[in-house]
Amino acid sequence: MKHLSGNDTAIALLLGGAALAATLLGDRKRDPILRKPASRRAPAAGEEQVHVSSARRFNHSSSLLALSVLADSGVEHYRGSFENPAMFIPLLSATLSMLAGLHGGRDRRASSHPVRHGIYAMAALAGLAGTGFHLYNVTKRTGGWSWNNLFYAAPLGAPAALLLSGGLGAIGERLRDQPADEPRLFGMPAGKALALAVSAGLIGTVGEVGLLHFRGSFQHPAMYAPLIIPPVTAALMVQTALGQPQPRPRTGRWLRLTSWLGLVGVAFHARGIARCQGGWRNWSQNILSGPPLPAPPSFTALALAGLAALRLRQTER
């Protein structure tokens, strides 16, 4: 059987990512989040309420982010031989969070689900505890808080992504319980709160990506893209939150660009693995030492949540 070259693998994954993006983002004529802003009229009988639609998108975003965490932590903790039994916790938490997100994405009811809410809370707590464990792993090494330990010790951003997955899902559940005519979260209009939450998530993710791409010496110009596109999108989301509710097509375009960035990033990481000694023929070793394949889709997950927040914000009074 003929082995695929690195370029062939990258192209195949890029095409697969394109198909997945089309599924997630949908056609603009059919996807209610990518259409023109919804009016503020009361929904007709049988028509889905805007805040419920946004909540479902947050469930989907949480699920995709949990899948990324599950794959990433599975690889990294396998490399660490599961030395600490607590290393199994993020795998279980991420799996449950992913399943809860898939369930919530199909649930059209305007009320939260107690089991999903509990799972999201557990995932957030697991992510918070994991951040503490990883921080300890960095500081206990020789040299303590240093660039070398930040580069090669347990990554601080990985458990934070699990915390973010639980947080996004919990926000979606809380949003379902709000009144349809004027949903509010954290003492402010729900669309405003969600836009700020997505912006914070993007900035946190950029920090982790920036550290790892700096470790890689920015060997490829495309490595600068995650440090340029998501920060611009985050700034536009802050502008959306603090400005008047109105159509913001430019913000929508940057969110869609950010979603594609996450999918195309998988292809670039696959190319990076193919360039390692032995390429994909030595996949069992190179997946452990090459750039992490599951990491880039976190941008896609946050962009999906951002599109939901944008639609909700532009329908607010």
Residue ranges covered by each domain of the chain: 6-314
- Residues 6 or more apart in contact with residue 114 via CB below 8 angstroms: none
Residue at token pair 């004529």 = 29
Q: Which residues pair with 189 in a beta bridge?
A: 184
Q: Which residues pair with 185 in a beta bridge?
A: 188
Q: What is the pLDDT, as a whole number, of residue 9? A: 42
Q: What is the pLDDT, as a whole number, of residue 127? A: 92
Burial 140-169 (b: 16+ CB within 10 A, else e): eeeeeeeeebeeebbbbbbbbbbbbbbbbb
What does each C-alpha distance from 287 to 14, 79, 174, 313 come to in angstroms?
A: 18, 10, 38, 41
How many whole angstroms separate alpha carbon 314 and alpha carbon 246? Answer: 5
Query: In the Cβ-directed half-sphere of 52, how many Cα atoms lie within 13 Å?
Result: 16
Q: Nearest 5°: phi and psi at 76? A: -65, -40
- Residues 6 or more apart in contact with residue 244 via CB below 8 angstroms: none
What does each C-alpha distance from 163 to 97, 158, 172, 220, 269 come to in angstroms?
A: 10, 9, 14, 30, 24
Quick one: CA dihedral 196, 200, 205, 211, positive or negative? Answer: positive
Q: Nearest 5°: phi and psi at 314? A: -80, -5
- Residues 6 or more apart in contact with residue 220 via CB below 8 angstroms: 268
Q: What is the pLDDT, as a whole number, of residue 314? A: 87
Q: What is the pLDDT, as a whole number, of residue 48? A: 66
pLDDT tens sequence for the chain (317 residues): 344 444 444 444 444 444 444 444 444 444 444 444 444 444 444 456 888 888 899 999 999 999 999 998 888 888 888 888 889 999 999 999 999 999 999 988 888 899 999 999 999 999 999 999 989 988 888 888 888 888 888 888 888 899 999 999 999 899 998 888 888 888 889 999 999 999 999 999 999 899 989 988 898 899 999 999 999 999 999 999 999 888 899 999 999 999 999 999 999 999 988 888 888 888 878 888 788 888 899 999 999 999 999 999 988 87
User: Where does 138-239 show beta strands of DSSP type E?
Assistant: 184-185, 188-189
For 19, the token pair is: 């198909």
User: Where does 216-275 show beta strands of DSSP type E?
Assistant: none
For 18, the token pair is: 């394109």
Q: What is the pLDDT, as a whole number, of residue 8? A: 47
- Residues 6 or more apart in contact with residue 229 via CB below 8 angstroms: 254, 257, 258, 261
